[in-house]
Amino acid sequence: MCGIIGYIGKKDAVPIIMRGLRRLEYRGYDSAGVSVLNHGCAIEMRKAVGVLDNLFSAVDKNPLAGPLGIGHTRWATHGVPSSENCHPHFDCTGNIMVVHNGIIENFKELKDELIKKGHRFSSETDTEITAHLIEEALSAGAADLEAAVRACIARIEGSYALGIFRKDEPHTLIGVRQGSPLVVGIGKDEYFISSDVSAIVESTRQIIYLDDGEIITMKTGGYHITDFKGNKVKGVVKKVTWDVEALDKAGFEKYMLKEIHEQPNIIRQNLRMRVTKDKKGVAFDDFTISDDVLKKISKIYIVSCGTAYYAGFTGKYLMEHFTSLPVEIDLASEFRYRKPKLLNENTLIIAVSQSGETADTLASVYEAKGKGCKVLAICNVVGSTLTRESDGTIYINAGPEISVASTKAYTGQLLSIYLFTIYLAKLKGEMTAAAAAALIKELEAVPNKMEKIMRGEQEIIEIAKKYCKAKSAFYLGRGFNYPNALEGALKNKEISYMHAEGYAAGEMKHGPIALIDENFPVVCIATKGSTYDKMISNMKEVEARKGRIIAISSNGDKNVPQIAETVISVPETAEEVSPLVNIMPLQLLAYYIAQYKGCDIDKPRNLAKSVTVE
Ligand code: F6R
């Protein structure tokens, strides 16, 4: 939800900012802008509405350069995507430049107040208020930009990560973090700020993850961090360990396809890291919730959004299957607004999130923590807000996920949930070592099965071609594969804009079946397992209404091909583990349908990768 970047040093800021914006583009692509203080100490700015390429063209046509600058890629919240609303924003004098990610909730009243004092606004955004508040503070006598920024943030409410510089202090760049992510890169005589490590990791691997309520002031000769009251804070510098190559497409046409293909190795690697040598259990080196605390847990709530919610949903099925614990799954955006019971120190909240920055998920975590619950994060992004707010984290170690549509994070989240379930069930004495070994064996077989499905990719391409013109589709599953049906439908609708609905197959007859006719594709997950017979009956119901069934079926199955118009065969897998295998053809199907429809797969319209507003 918007990406910000800033640079101060001896190099030209523009190529660094532009390269960084390319990495941040997934956070929003409604407009983008860059502003620098050039070598003659004048401010220059370029802005462009629409995709980032438009800004690249504007900069090519009319180049700018300077050792200090900020950039922004926007996902519109306040004000339509337009040149006026494009960041950076500035004050009345045009001397104070600001980029912002987040929402300033009280901007309207502040704007009215400032207009009365004679300020003229150039945009409809909430962000612009900050530049004017800084201007006010400076004219009221603030000693320098840092003091003026402090005065500004004393007035604003909401969530924000800010990057700020000023013409009259040519050696200062300021970053502020409150409720939206901001990382600082430490180079040799140069500093970077960014919403995300991926935007600066090619320049430096030395990173400070700012905490909420902190301000960093970077000057050409050094930096200091303070809290909002002005007290000194010691920023801890951490080293990024993942490969920069992980950020490239590695020969794939799109990030999404690359990320789908990375899944087998991510699962292999994580199993290697987590499964104990005797292959009868699981160990988490990075996990800090003690066994004593876990043993006392009497209730689990899983909270998450979107794809992460569907991963969590499978977690409910798994944990209820393998342990005696009651497990509830909640959309994070709903959890806060109902009155969930038994939120206390014996309740475990499992917050599942790729980014660790999703505002709704974080809000649920704060709510639950306030009631004394323990929080376990299942997360991809190291150092993200969620991981810092949680009592323990299981990292999914999927590497940077760039495509807006989540794929490898989903299977990474699922795997972590399987492993945690084994850990918990064994700890509670509810799973024997032999049962754990059998489940682990099934998990270890998953990567090869995924690779087998990818070898049949051409077949899925043909199937996508056959169905890509449909207006609507159903995705049906039961039991462990019901959440997978929801996820398959989400993938389809978000990248190909084809209306798709996931349903529990048994629900069809209670209403939705009325929609079925001879033009309606129905994707049915019908692999072997305890609900197989019921699924066959549900498929027959669809067949009787002439629906066009695309079935995901276990290799060698004789019944499904008799009912389905199209069959995608997958290797047979234990029912409990099958979601990890069965999602693969659904991801590929969605991908190729979107490709046939000519959609911008990695950057679907109206979406952003990291949803940092509620
Ligand atoms: C869909 C997708 C989103 C995210 C959701 C939560 O492909 O990516 O639905 O899953 O916005 O994001 P995280 O996992 O970062 O909390």
Contact 33, 59 (CB under 8 A): no
Amino acid sitting at position 330 = D
Contact 518, 553 (CB under 8 A): no
**pLDDT value at position 152?**
98
- DSSP, collapsed to helix, strand or coil, labels residue 160 as strand
Residue to substitute in 302, 305, 414 for testing ligand 1 pocket (most ligand atoms within 8 angstroms of CB): 305
Residue of the CA atom closest to atom 3 of ligand 1: 306
- Kindly give the distance from the C-alpha atom of residue 236 to the centroid of ligand 1, in angstroms, as a whole number: 29
Catalytic-labelled residue, pool 2, 86, 305, 379: 2
Question: Does residue 2 have an active-site annotation?
Answer: yes
Q: What is the rounded CA–CA span in Å between residue 94 and residue 44?
A: 10
Supply the pLDDT for residue 407.
98
Q: How far is the CA of 310 from the centre of ligand 1 (A)?
A: 10
Residues β-bridged to residue 392: 376
How far away, in angstroms, is 191 Cα from ligand 1 center? Answer: 30
d(CA 173, CA 179): 20
Looking at residue 365, its amino acid is V
For residue 203, the 8-state DSSP code is T
Cα–Cα distance measured from residue 600 to residue 179, given in angstroms and rounded to the nearest whole number: 30
Distance 222 CA to ligand 1 centre (A): 37
pLDDT tens digit sequence for 288-307: 899 999 999 999 999 999 99
Kindly list the strands in the beta sheet with 183-186, ordered across the sheet, starting from the edge strand earlier in the chain: 43-49, 31-37, 68-74, 3-8, 191-194, 183-186, 206-209, 237-239
Distance in angstroms (rounded) separating the CA atoms of residues 457 and 73: 34
- Half-sphere exposure of 241 toward its Cβ, with a 13 Å CA cutoff? 6
In ligand 1, the atom with minimum distance to the C-alpha of 306 is 9
Q: What is the pTM of this model?
A: 0.81
Alpha-carbon distance 106 to 548, whole Å?
A: 52
Give the span between the Cα atoms of 211 and 387, in whole angstroms. 12
* Ligand 1 in reach of 308 Cβ (< 6 A): yes
| CA Rg value for the chain | 25
Q: How far is the CA of 218 from the centre of ligand 1 (A)?
A: 33
Q: Residue 363 and residue 344: Cα distance in Å, rounded?
A: 17
Omega of the bond prior to 88 within 30 degrees of 0, cis?
Answer: yes
Task: Check if 307 has its Cβ closer than 6 Å to any atom of ligand 1.
Answer: yes
Q: What are the phi and psi torsion angles at 242 (to 5°)?
A: -75, 160
Please give the number of the atom of ligand 1 that sits closest to the Cα of 304. Answer: 16
Ligand 1 center from residue 71 Cα (angstroms):
24
Pocket-testing residue among 196, 386, 406, ligand 1, by greatest number of atoms within 8 A of Cβ = 406
Token pair belonging to 323: 């342990």
Name the strand (E) or helix (H) holding 574.
Answer: none
CA of 569 to the centre of ligand 1 (A): 28
Q: Tokens in use for 31?
A: 């407009």
CA-proximal residue: ligand 1, atom 7 (nearest)? 405
Structural domains of the chain, ranges and CATH numbers in brackets? 3-241 (3.60.20.10), 251-450 (3.40.50.10490), 456-614 (3.40.50.10490)
From the CA of 491, give the closest atom in ligand 1.
7
Give the Cα separation of 32 and 47 in Å (integer).
6
Cβ–ligand 1 contact at 123 (below 6 Å): no
233 sits in which H/E element: strand 232-233
Is the beta carbon of 492 within 6 A of some atom in ligand 1?
A: no
pLDDT averaged per 10 residues, the chain (length 614): 93 97 86 96 96 95 97 87 94 97 92 97 95 98 98 94 97 94 94 94 94 95 95 92 75 93 93 94 88 97 98 98 97 91 93 95 96 96 89 91 95 98 97 98 97 96 97 97 98 97 95 94 97 97 96 97 98 97 98 97 85 74
> Both ends of the chain: CA-CA distance in Å?
11
Is residue 354 lining ligand 1, measured as CB closer than 6 Å?
Answer: yes
C-alpha 510 – ligand 1 centre gap (Å)? 29
- Residue 527 in contact with ligand 1 by CB distance below 6 A: no
Task: Report the candidate in 184, 180, 239, 171 with the shortest Cα–Cα distance to residue 216.
Answer: 184
Note the pLDDT tens digit of each residue in 72-120: 999 877 888 899 999 999 999 999 999 999 889 899 999 999 999 999 9
Q: Is 384 helix (H, G, I), strand (E, B) or coil?
A: coil
Tell me if 402 CB under 6 Å of ligand 1: no
Rounded CA-CA distance 192/16 in Å is 9
The kind and range of the H/E element at 18 are helix 13-24
Angle at 604 between CA 600 and CA 607, to 5 degrees: 160
- Map residue 215 onto helix, strand or coil: strand
Q: How far apart are CA 386 and CA 5, in angstroms?
A: 21
Q: Which two tokens stand for residue 342?
A: 């038994």
Nearest protein CA to atom 16 of ligand 1, as residue: 353
- What pLDDT shows up at residue 1? 66
217 lines ligand 1 (CB under 6 A): no
| Nearest in space to 376 (alpha carbons), one of 304, 282, 275, 274 | 304
Q: How far apart are CA 20 and CA 203, in angstroms?
A: 10
